[in-house]
Structure 1
């Protein structure tokens, strides 16, 4: 049997929302639960408190069952609420980008992975976040240039590949040291000209690189729904 446990930070955030919906201050909730205000502060911050305090806080928030926070039904309800909220936020973002589609992105953390990326894509689009410092942008631009140059290299020997990967790894480490992370994504596309007639479509893999501040975690990228090749 699998037991689902609510993430302490998520539970703390939920408790704070319930408290504020009842127009209770942390001091008032602490008084109602007969606990120290620091207990409420720790709980809402996702830090551990003892079982008796958890039960007291649950009752002070209006839950009849003092073990509500461990109740599977309660946990499922909270998770469903936040999943629904996330879906609404995602829909709002989708509505803001009607001419774009979302594709899965993953962190690019090693030079070998960067070299592999350059080897499998036929075209690439780069995004360097404007919030980065000028120094970081310059390093990011050099990384993008290196990847693009590597895309033009055909049939290079294994020893050269190892050297390219080592160089790229060094740039990635420098970017992390400057507070930036690199994310990559690929999308298979088909292109054809208006006058191609019966000629088959041109199939290619388009790559996307996004370099953003380290405090931004990306799981997907918005890319144009349509694209034209120059």
Structure 2
């Protein structure tokens, strides 16, 4: 669509996401899509119906992806924007999985790894005074700030799991909260 409308891909992405684009781009997209009226997208009712079509397409694409990978479980991730949030995340989890996105700039990979290591170390610490925890949160906040300056974002998610051995008999299942920490380029919207 971007090539047919002579606009860049980011313009199409903003349009699909319902973000504002300039009138010239809206008219070019209307023409590329075959509409006679170049101001079609300025009609609020029409614009809403187009956005609903895009939402429907995204839902179908997501369902296709889920069908291709039935063993994958989708969990909601949240942006980690402060050291306090990172420290709280470390307190909530019993096990952790880290991902440093390959698309991340090289200069952001080292602080990304340091952030992940720090969260894991903090996760393993017990009986620490509040003053020390505040210091840990401040350190994590500094690393987060460095990551932001390097064009990276950090997302976290948790999932409660119960593990049970085949030969455990009447023993209760082992309950754990598994944490997922992802460092990605800041312009990436989905993790």
Same fold (TM over 0.5): yes
CA deviation vs aligned residue, 1:69-120 (integer Å, no higher than 9, x gap):
3353x24422221111111221233244332111101110100000000001
Further displaced range: 74-83 or 164-173: 74-83
Rg larger in structure: 1
Secondary structure of the structure 2 residue equivalent to 1:189:
strand
Change (3 A) 1:17 1:184: same
> What corresponds to 1:20 in structure 2?
32
Change (3 A) 1:151 1:80: same
Match of 1:182 among 144, 154, 170: 154
Task: Give distance in 1, aligned partners of 2:148 and 2:82.
Answer: 11
Q: What TM-score, normalized by structure 2, do the two folds share? A: 0.80
Q: What TM-score, normalized by structure 1, do the two folds share? A: 0.68
Task: Give distance in 2, aligned partners of 1:132 and 1:75.
Answer: 35
> What corresponds to 1:173 in structure 2?
145
Tell me, yes or no, if the aligned pair for 2:162 and 2:175 is still in contact at 8 Å.
yes
Which sections of structure 2, spanning at least 5 residues, go unmatched? 1-17
Which sections of structure 1, spanning at least 5 residues, go unmatched? 1-5, 23-60, 222-230
Kindly report the root-mean-square deviation, in angstroms, between the aligned alpha carbons of the 2 structures. Answer: 2.4
Task: Give distance in 2, aligned partners of 1:9 and 1:88.
Answer: 25
Tell me, yes or no, if the aligned pair for 2:163 and 2:175 is still in contact at 8 Å.
yes
Matched positions, count: 173
Match of 1:9 among 13, 21, 38: 21
> What corresponds to 1:62 in structure 2?
36
